[in-house]
Each structure stands twice: as C-alpha cells, then as structure tokens.
C-alpha cells in the first residue's frame, strides 16, 4: 500500500472511507469509535479537506452524526447534501441541504456545488447506487488495522455481479495488494 498517490481536486466523484480490514465502514449502530485507534498519515486529512468541494451523504449517516462541523475533524467546511425520502422531518441545519431526488440528480447538484473540486460520497448505500450507474470515478479507502465482524459494509449487494476494479497508481492495476497483520495481545 506504500505508493498511495496524493488526491487531486478534479471534480471527481469519490467514494471515500476509512474501512476496517474486514470491509466495514461503521460498526454496529453506526459505531465509529474504532477509527480513533487508527493513525492517519500526517497531512492526509488536510489533503482531503483541500480537495473536497462538497459532500453527499445518506439519511442514516446524518441521523447518527447530525453535525457538518465534524467532517474531517472540522478541517473542512462546505456544502453538505443529505439524500432522504423524508426531508420534511429533518432538522434544518446551516450548510446542509436535504435532497429527495434520484442519485443522478444528487450527483449533478453536488458536483455543481463542489465548484471544480471533488464530490465526496460518504454513504455505502448511495455509493452502491452510483456504481451501478457508472457515476463513481474513484473508490478511495484507508484500511484501518481492525476487524469489526459486524456493522455497515462498504459494499453490500448479495445478488450483484462482481465489480472489477483497477488500482489507481499501481504498476499492475490488477495485482493483488499484500498486507500482513498480527493480532494485538
């Protein structure tokens, strides 16, 4: 995982998460405390804060953490869009727009608001919809050294066909990535 290219702000749609080794982006009941023990490379948060123009999330993520000032630990501020079928019962919040529309329209609105920077999608369920529509430019992951065993999966689509990927920046984009861990005793 050494050669991780810095992110650029090119008006891309990024599906971006910190993920457990076993593929969860949140624990049971949307728990996020497991992330605190993972160390991010110096400057990484600032890199994403700099390249992100707007964020698109789903209603469950918003209901669990209804505070736009928490994004990148407060290092980022900007337009946040929350996709929901029930915008009328969401508490109006400065900087947050509740959208009841299809994913294509949500991306159009989000990219326009991003002003040439990236639109970050912070939702597994919306990311899955956008993947099916061919609207995800990059899947951008930081793998935390932890096994959660349950929670919200990055990609949950039991009936779906495999999605083939190419690794960005790799000499051989189809090569497996080798990682080796030891359980902490």
Ligand X SMILES: NC(=O)c1ccc[n+]([C@@H]2O[C@H](COP(=O)([O-])OP(=O)(O)OC[C@H]3O[C@@H](n4cnc5c(N)ncnc54)[C@H](OP(=O)(O)O)[C@@H]3O)[C@@H](O)[C@H]2O)c1
Instruction: State which of residues 40, 49, 125, 155 lies at the interface with ligand X (CB under 6 A).
Output: 125
Q: Which residues contact 135 (CB under 8 A, 6 or more apart)?
A: 13, 103, 104, 107
Question: Minimum distance between the CB of residue 42 and ligand X, rounded to whole angstroms?
Answer: 18
- Minimum CB distance to ligand X smaller for 36 or for 179: 36
Query: Residue 28 and residue 43: Cα distance in Å, rounded?
Result: 29
Distance CA 19, CA 124 (A): 11
**Closer residue to ligand X (CB): 9 or 45:** 45
- Which one of the spans 43-51, 96-104, 130-138, 176-184 is the region binding ligand X (CB under 6 A)? 96-104
**32 contacts ligand X (rule: CB under 6 A):** yes
Q: Which is nearer to ligand X, 37 or 64 (CB)?
A: 64
Which of 114, 108, 82 has the alpha carbon at shortest distance from 97?
A: 82
Please, is 107 exposed, middle or buried when counting C-beta atoms within 10 Å of its C-beta (0-12, 13-18, 19+)?
Answer: buried
For residue 64, state whether it binds ligand X (rule: CB under 6 A): yes
* Residue 156 token pair: 């949950």
When the beta carbons of 89 and 171 are compared against ligand X, the nearer one is: 89
- Per CB under 6 A, does 123 bind ligand X? yes
Distance CA 166, CA 172 (A): 9
**DSSP H or E segment with residue 25:** strand 24-26
Calpha distance 86→64 (Å, rounded): 15
The verdict on 79 binding ligand X (CB under 6 A) reads no
Is 133 or 173 the residue whose CB approaches ligand X more closely? 133
Nearest distance, CB of residue 126 and ligand X, angstroms: 5
Among 3, 85, 158, 174, binds ligand X (CB under 6 A): 85
Residues near ligand X, by CB under 6 A: 17-18, 25-26, 30, 32, 57-61, 64-65, 83-86, 100, 102-103, 122-126, 129, 152
């Amino acid at each position: 995982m050494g050669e991780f290219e810095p992110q650029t702000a090119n008006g891309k749609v990024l599906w971006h998460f910190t993920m457990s080794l076993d593929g969860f982006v949140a624990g049971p009941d949307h728990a996020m405390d497991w992330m605190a023990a993972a160390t991010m490379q110096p400057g990484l948060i600032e890199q994403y804060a700099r390249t992100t123009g707007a964020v698109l999330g789903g209603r469950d993520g918003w209901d669990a953490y209804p505070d736009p000032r928490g994004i990148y630990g407060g290092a980022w501020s900007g337009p946040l869009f929350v996709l929901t079928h029930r915008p009328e019962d969401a508490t109006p919040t400065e900087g947050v727009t509740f959208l009841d529309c299809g994913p294509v329209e949500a991306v159009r609105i989000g990219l326009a608001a991003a002003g040439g920077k990236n639109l970050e999608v912070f939702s597994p369920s919306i990311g899955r919809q956008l993947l099916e529509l061919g609207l995800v430019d990059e899947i951008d992951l930081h793998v935390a050294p932890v096994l959660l065993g349950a929670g919200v999966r990055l990609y949950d689509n039991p009936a779906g066909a495999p999605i083939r990927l190419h690794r960005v920046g790799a000499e051989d984009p189809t090569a497996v990535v080798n990682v080796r861990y030891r359980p902490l005793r």
